[in-house]
Amino acid sequence: MAIKSIIKDNAEIVGLEITQELIEKLEIYAKELKEWNEKINLTAIKDDEGIAIKHFIDSLMLLKYVDIPENSKIIDVGTGAGFPGLVIAAARSDVKVTLLDSTGKKLKVVADIAEKMGLKNYEILNMRAEEAGQKKEYREQFDFATARAVAELRVLSEYCLPFVKKDGYFVSMKGALAELEIENAENALKVLSGKIEDKFCFDLCSQGERNIIKIKKISQIPTKYPRVSAQIAKKPL
Ligand code: SAM
């Protein structure tokens, strides 16, 4: 089956509205991703069904559950091959997405793919999250921070919440261990002024449980966060 049919059929299953224009962009994304993946290791998911469901539909689920107002500024932390950030940029031309990753070669591919998809509403940021979060041009500049498959929630909160404006959101995409990660992140969220406002648990097209955790930043956080990488690793909050 052609990837566009896989995307369309599975979008219907999960109740996602998806335009023809978006399907065409995602078709280009999949083709380029597969080609690049033969040259550099971008993703372990290589087949059309996996790319359509585990990358594209999964990324789009964030837009199903979280209301992102027009013209929002979003930072996708540890975007890798562009998930969920580049998919969100493709689906929502009104928002501006910053795609952050510490691995420059992945970002070069992401920029190449985004250009081929004809996207204009993104920027690439090759930096560690802990470093960018201490810079005034990125700290508290975003309405939303997103992240999928980057680190456990208590560590990820220290990476992501500094980017978010007061009253903005960090949206964390997690698998089946979400509840355990939430328990372990209790102290981190307290220290970093994060409050879980909503949680959405769903089955991703029979591919397993997924969770979206919507965390509100309720006030500014002390400037000592995020700490340097070694400290975060040695003593997670
Ligand atoms: N979010 C993508 C996805 O779901 O497919 C990529 C996940 S990949 C397993 C994790 C990515 O996070 C890698 O590309 C890695 O370079 C990046 N990463 C991990 N820690 C980071 C940090 N502290 N700052 C920036 N990027 C980081």
Mutate to test the pocket of ligand 1, among 37, 101, 128 (most ligand atoms within 8 A of CB): 101
Q: What is the pLDDT of residues 143-200, one digit of tens each?
A: 999 999 999 999 999 999 999 999 999 999 999 999 999 999 999 999 999 999 999 9
Query: Ligand 1 pocket, 181 CB below 6 A?
Result: no
Look over the chain and give the mean of its residue pLDDT values, rounded to a whole number: 97
Nearest-atom index, ligand 1, CA of 131: 24
Q: What is the pLDDT of residues 50-77, one digit of tens each?
A: 999 999 999 999 999 999 999 999 999 9
Q: Name which of 137, 18, 36, 133 is nearest 81 in CA terms.
A: 36
Give the 3-state secondary structure of residue 3: helix
Query: Ligand 1 pocket, 128 CB below 6 A?
Result: yes
Q: Give the pLDDT band of residue 127 (cuts 50, 70, 90).
A: very high
pTM score, whole prediction:
0.97
Dist. CA 236 → ligand 1 center (Å)? 18
Stretch (H or E) spanning 143? strand 142-148
What are the DSSP calls for 115-141, one per residue?
A: HHTT--SEEEEES-HHHHTTSTTTTT-
Q: Name which of 96, 114, 88 is nearest 173 in CA terms.
A: 88
Query: Ligand 1 pocket, 101 CB below 6 A?
Result: yes
Query: Ligand 1 pocket, 174 CB below 6 A?
Result: no
Dist. CA 69 → ligand 1 center (Å)? 26
